[in-house]
Amino acid sequence: MNNIIEDLEISPLKETNYIKPIKVNFTLNGYKKSWEAVRSHDSVSVLLYHKEKDAFLLVKQFRVPVYLNDNSIKYTYELCAGLVDKEMTLEEIVCEEIDEECGYKVSKKDIKKITSFFTNVGISGARQYLYFATICENQKIHSGGGINDEQIELFFLSKNRIDDFIFDESKAKTPGLIFSLYWFLQNEKDLELK
């Protein structure tokens, strides 16, 4: 993936689609305080293990906030993920995201919940629900890449490269991805991977 960024323009946000900036005034232990926060949607993410490849299927994509922080980073490595912004179960959203982003058809019954946690605790405090699923090539239904104007590239991480990947600071990655890989290492013997 060779991202070419042109015509970058930063402006104040007046009307929003996915986040709502707010200012919160409150008293905590007798001290008056003020905090700037953002209301945002919860999300789901899924660690996908490809049986035949003995590898994890991750997604790579351009993320503007990361680029604004370090313009040498042209994309991030992430779990397949999506917003909880529709009237569907969390497992249904996971299945839909696997289809849209990665091109695999996975049944709800094959999605295993790992845990949930809070992200961006200093600004939004949204909850992310983390799942695990195995995939194989007979579940492949299309090339993936996302919908509408998403530009998602698929990336296979070999199981024997987990530690190198996690500690490679040249690869921008999310804490949820790192946590899920360590979860896998701790639980691998109990998972049905064959």
pLDDT at residue 2 in the model: 65
Give the residue with greater pLDDT, 106 vs 147.
106
Residue 101 annotated as binding site: yes
Q: Please give the Cα distance from 101 to 57 (Å, whole number).
A: 11
169 is in an annotated binding site: no
Q: What are the distances in angstroms from CA 147 to CA 74, 79, 98, 166?
A: 20, 16, 12, 28
Is the distance from CB of 34 to CB of 25 less than 8 angstroms? yes
Nearest-CA neighbor of 97 among 171, 159, 147? Answer: 147
Fold of 41-188: Nucleoside Triphosphate Pyrophosphohydrolase (3.90.79)
What's phi and psi for 116, nearest 5 deg? -135, 160
Residue 5 pLDDT = 66
User: What is the pLDDT at residue 154?
Assistant: 97
Q: Which amino acid is at 154?
A: L
Kind and range of the H or E run holding 173 = none
For residue 7, the 8-state DSSP code is: S
Q: Rounded to 10 degrees, what is the CA torsion of 150, 156, 159, 165?
A: -70
**Predicted confidence band of residue 7 (pLDDT cuts 50, 70, 90):** confident
| pLDDT one-digit tens code per residue, 123-138 | 999 999 999 999 999 9
Residue 78 annotated as part of some ligand binding site: no
Q: What is the pLDDT of residues 75-121, one digit of tens each?
A: 999 999 999 999 999 999 999 999 999 999 999 999 999 999 999 89
C-alpha radius of gyration, the chain, whole number: 18
Confidence tier at 8 by pLDDT (50, 70, 90)? low
- What does pTM read for this prediction? 0.90
Q: In the predicted model, is pLDDT for residue 169 greater than 90?
A: yes
- pLDDT tens, 9-67? 767 667 788 888 888 888 888 888 888 888 899 999 999 999 999 999 999 999 999 99
133 a known binding residue? no
E strand intervals along 9-98: 19-28, 31-40, 43-50, 55-61, 76-78, 80-83
pLDDT at residue 20 in the model: 87
Domain locations along the chain:
41-188
